[in-house]
A and B are shown apart, each in its own frame.
Chain A
């Protein structure tokens, strides 16, 4: 492979990996604080997608894409907060299995609402022309959509890092993710922390939705399934609940997806999902703290 090929590969991989990393981060943030494996997270992507469909396609076809995109992210944040308040807060103190099943129910509820109130079939979403335009640098051809998603995910991760490391709320969040009980004992309000975590995770899902649905071009009731499954894998690879781990895991999955697409014949690619989730089980069995972490002592 020549230099151009390598650069091309890097851009694809970073763009896809960035989306996975954002998704995984949103999942890991909630898991770290609440021990809640949030299945319904994919449905936030779906809600943002339908916001774009309804607002930008049905109601105001003339509206600028950027306005629609901002509205989609705002709705994603709002619905994430709403789910926390309505469904997850009442079961917050229950055991993790109960919370997981609750999120399963919420996810099925949202998908079926979309089927009932909008349509079971895919609906188109309008995207700015530049998404499919390309930039040429010498022999290198890159789509602007990929470039934008790469830059956006890097920017989001940068802003989040600064927020998490430089602000009091950020350190409270990090503290809560590592030991929630202790954080509460130190006088941090649980409701506030959890609401912020859900808001951030909703925002991440909203941003992912812009590019994820941009890749497909349509939105359908189960559009959130693939991203949430990949986010699962990524956050397990990085160690459940670890924030840095989730980001690294996301990029790792992005890179390996693109690499496998190039290397493996399509016959074998069919079983990619089976292999991916087989690896998830193996990691949970042998390296439950994730691939990127050292082994820690067994918790009683």
Chain B
């Protein structure tokens, strides 16, 4: 049981008071950063990177990691409370989480998010310990063709998310794809759809898009109610998840963890994909799919479990291969480099204290986060009790600060307002913002990997069939579509008037 010995060693490293201290600071800052929309973990980590120069390597990595997964916990808080996703992977949490908050059930939503995240992280850490090596090698096997088909699967799954008409959901997804093309073409540096604006050369940016589409438009919609009307039901129905909630959510948490863990290993977009894949799975296998989107606890538990499992899993490629799977991990990578540590295949051998210390600290950190977030639930619920006409300027300000702090650019503020207006009108006409935002995230990866694959295969589409993973993905897509159409015909046969029903 060499692994057990290593683990004990790791805990010895982590439980040193100084490292515990760094862990605590990390998760505290991470939570705060996650709660403040816009200033994501990247911003926080970069603010603290200079500070980590003066700290031991183990301590630095523990702190930076703490910030990373702490932010995941915090990000769900704003998604639930004010419908503003802290990160792309929290978008799906808004769907049901915010509705639960409106119904006075913010407490249970936050609670199940916290507990679900903790359970998912624990499971993911166990997975990390035992499966790091084979999994990361598997992740390497994902090249452009694999990504391309995976994104296609994602797009299909995305449309299942729509609560209303799937047709409109698909239109939103396509629209999201179009918006994602804005910027410089990777292959020949030609500006696309930028209308000459220098600021658009990098594209629209996920933060202005999401803040506008979800945050601003929600406020604009809410302002239509007479000002004294409750946006959030004042009667709070309990602070913690009930037994019934737990019964309902337990499956969602487990399935979400599984999905999140495996997808999180994939560099780039794994967490986002995991969040809505797990949601779609829950919806598909639920006895009451039409209730998803109105405030169903599984709709919060699944994506939260998924994105936390993914956050932990994304350490795997970094620690075992030296490949940072996303911007945040790249920052961590930099932090390690400063201390003269090369993450890579030799990391475990050369710096076992670092590797196992970090693994153990993940567990400790998650425990700290749970202990931190649960009491805060009472506080958050209290915040929601502030009358909306005093609350909304605060929310608007947070949105503005969040969006501005990404690039220090007022252009982003204008973009956010624009998307707020678009989102407002969209929702007036019964279109949902979630598929748009999610397609926006998937779009670039899909297009880039498609074109890369075609370069690799010199124009042949057979590359997608000759390799195992794309082939499986394509078959999966076909299978999903067939299953969808099949379930329609069944519905139609049982209920003759089914064509008048909206939901899928």
Please determine whether chains A and B interact with each other in the same assembly.
Answer: no
